[in-house]
Chains A and B, each alone.
Chain A
Amino acid sequence: MNSVALPSCSHLPVASGIGLRAAHHERVATERPGIAWLEVHTENFLGGGATPALLESLRGEYAISLHGVGLSLGSAEGLDQDHLSRIAALVRRVEPAAVSDHLSWSVTGGVYFNDLLPVPYDEEALAAIARNVMRFQEAIGREVMVENPSTYLRHAQSDRAEPQFLAELCQRSGCGLLLDVNNVFVSAENHGDDARAYLAAIAPLPIGEIHLSGHHLRQIGNRSIRIDDHGSPVSDQVWALYEQALALIGPRPTLVEWDSALPPLETLLAEADKAQTRLDHAMRSTA
């Protein structure tokens, strides 16, 4: 039972969880590792096949979070109704503890980029995204969380900072926020911003979940750019920022994501243990 009150967008346990990926399906299904919750990419479970059945079999033991990467909440042309209907059917079937997607767009004119592309932070985009989020929430009958993206550039016509944009989005649509601490760090480093100031600005929002993951440095010309690839352990700087986030926001369900160069399940669980240690400390501090 959570002793920490979460915003109504999240029913996850205030504990660490792991992202469940295909290479670990069999081991998690048979060995049932000791972890409080699992998050999956929604789009990988929309077929009628073996994967949704796996999720159903796990949901009695683990809280499940459905994390979308393909709804394209930032699309000017609105949401794909077929895709939305498939997600709604999965939500009915799995009854997840949380549902989320990203502050980004990925499709236009029927071409899907299967990426999380940046939106301008201005009034027109805010109105469009709030509309899309509300439609998403109506379709599944519950509040969702929207995740802050990693960005590598900004639109010239943006007239407000990302935390302000997210605050207005939460206020207009009634959604919550999924705070990805690695994304905060990657974006801040790439743009030359202050990650701690970002956290302070975003702390009052209804944050129902935190993400942690790894990134890598890519050399371009004579400087390094941080690329968010979920392919390595959480960096020391991101752990430090996570501790700062917990101090500002309070304990929150925390996911360790790993997508590329997926390590053995034990490595992933060990990363989740590190998050749990910090969560336990934050719980004691708030008790």
Chain B
Amino acid sequence: MDLSRIEHTFQDGLLGRSQDILRQLRGNARESAETMFAVYRNAYWSRLAEALGNDFPALKALMGDQAFDRMARAYIARHPSQHPSIRWAGRNLPAFLAAEAPYRDEPWFTDMARFDWGLAFAFDAAAAPAAGLANLAGVPPEFWGSIRLRFHPTLDAFPVSTPVDEARPRLLENAAIALDRQARCARAIMVWRVEHDVRFRAIDPLEHAALEAMQAGATFGAMCELVARQAGLDAAPARAAQILQGWLEWGAVAIVEHDELGSAA
């Protein structure tokens, strides 16, 4: 059997698709190839399940060890690792929980998985300097409407329907705490990193909509119009300015761009 065939057959054995590989293997004087192959097969599942537990610590605390392990094995069967680093094995887990019964019926699971993953992603994402409020000071008032933002490359933002941002620190401190699993909310969570420090903040749906618009390239002027449609014309200027100021103060923005004198048609 050639090397490529051996590796594919070994793979089939690890994934439980066939036992053909056993004919290509030797055990030893005391143990059969089947017994020794089980060492590899068990290690495959348990290593990935353990890695998922490390990357989703709050989800594991929320589900409990045994339920998490069952879920992890079902996930691995559906989404085998496709990256040389085990660190990325869990990237499809939030989507898996959102789509698969019985997990899809408990929004806490998807939300917590998304939050765990967002924090891990922010830690690993490429570093970049952050802009600050000082970057706004130099913008002439007539050009404020043209402001565009390039957000920090570590920034991730996602909607949740459960208050996972409040529950996560408590769960990590004590997995046995009683959570109100009926609690629901409408908010989004922003996650980003400043230097080596991963930060997060809960934002309301209006701010999330403003963030998504400016992430897609909208100007501050367009963001103000979006805010006005939802918050009313009177409240919009102060609310839009407050949102912009917050992002800059928190270090979630990398670059502030705006039109220059003579640049506009």
Contacts and interface: CB of A to CB of B under 8 A. Distances in A.
A136 to B, nearest CB: 13
B36 A113 contact: no
Contact of B80 (A72, A111, A128, A154): A111
A105 B7 contact: yes
Interface string A63-88: 00000001110011100100100000
A44 B87 contact: yes
Nearest to B51: A114
Interface stretch (B120-128, B218-226, B232-240): B120-128
A153 B25 contact: yes
Contact of A221 (B35, B83, B84): B35
A148 B265 CA distance: 67
Determine the interface band of chain B, counting residues with CB < 8 A from chain A.
35 or more
Contacts of B193: 49-50
Please indicate which of the listed interface residues A70, A112, A190, A218 has the most CB atoms of chain B within 10 Å of its own CB: A112
A266 interface: no
Given A49-B154, A105-B7, A223-B30, A114 B81 contact: yes
Contacts of A47: 87, 124-126
Contacts of A191: 28
A85 to B, nearest CB: 12
B28 A43 contact: no
Given A72-B84, A223-B31, A114 B48 contact: yes
Contacts of B7: 75-77, 105, 108, 117
A114 B24 contact: no
Contacts of A43: 84-87
B196 A50 contact: yes
A112 B82 contact: yes
B8 to A, nearest CB: 6
Q: Is the interface of A mostly helix, strand, loop or mixed?
A: mixed
Please indicate which of the listed interface residues A105, A108, A227 has the most CB atoms of chain B within 10 Å of its own CB: A108
B190 interface: no
A76 B1 contact: no
A152 interface: yes
Contact of B44 (A54, A115, A220): A115
Given A50-B193, A75-B7, A192 B84 contact: no
B3 interface: yes
A101 B81 CA distance: 20
Please indicate which of the listed interface residues A76, A77, A113, A155 has the most CB atoms of chain B within 10 Å of its own CB: A113
Contacts of A117: 7, 10, 40
Given A47-B125, A112-B81, 13 more contacts: A43-B86, A43-B87, A48-B125, A50-B124, A50-B196, A53-B127, A108-B10, A115-B40, A120-B3, A120-B6, A218-B39, A220-B31, A227-B39
17 contacts: A43-B85, A47-B87, A48-B125, A50-B127, A50-B193, A50-B195, A76-B6, A76-B7, A109-B11, A111-B11, A114-B84, A120-B3, A157-B1, A157-B24, A190-B36, A192-B28, A218-B39
Interface of A: 43-44, 46-51, 53-54, 70-72, 75-77, 80, 83, 105-115, 117, 119-120, 124-125, 128, 152-157, 190-192, 218, 220-221, 223, 225, 227
